[in-house]
Amino acid sequence: MKNNFYKLLFIALLFSGIACQRDDICPATTDTTPLLIIRFYENEEPNDLQSPQNLSIRAIDSDSTNFVINTGGNSPVRYFRFSGDSIAIPLKTNADQTSYVFTLNTAANDTTASNSGIRDTLSFTYARSEEYINRACAYKVNYVGLKTSLRNSGEESGWIQEIEIEQTDIEDENQAHVSIFF
């Protein structure tokens, strides 16, 4: 009797193990919603990349320069006093417009990038196209028909001289989508 019990238990465990599926995990190599890639160029020499000094970027509806970007780490990416020739920023996946304040020459103690430097506001408008990837990764959002508008923040002239859209459809992060000349 005891022997039959163990046989039944073994068969039950065997069938329950066969019926289970492993948890699907979205691989890091899978393309997900792309970030907007912006490159900065010298206005006088448009072929020369230029790094804006102490650039801070914040969403128009936020007082933080922190962006929650899935980089595999636990901490958000921070664009406070950034000095590189290209950046990757997120666009909203639940709206057709995203606006950012770009502040050049942000002071070291201005953690919200709202009291110092020269500010320009860039608005990006687009249509959204959802693409189903798979069960583990769900959907990704591609941005279609990218357009930009520039608004100076009260100064006679801001620091951005010209904006050029390199790719109107944002489907990957392989090359720059927008070029800013200053």
Measured in residues, the chain has a length of 182
CA 99 to chain centre: 13
Q: What six digits make up the tokens of 104?
A: 């050049």
φ/ψ (deg, to 5) at 165: -90, 120
Query: What is the helix, strand, coil percentage profile of the chain, to 5?
Result: 10, 40, 50
Q: What is the pLDDT of residues 87-118, one digit of tens each?
A: 999 999 999 999 999 999 989 888 887 888 89
Q: What is the pLDDT of residues 47-60, one digit of tens each?
A: 999 999 999 999 98
Report the predicted TM-score, pTM, of the whole model to 2 decimal places: 0.80
- Confidence at 171, pLDDT banded by 50, 70, 90: very high
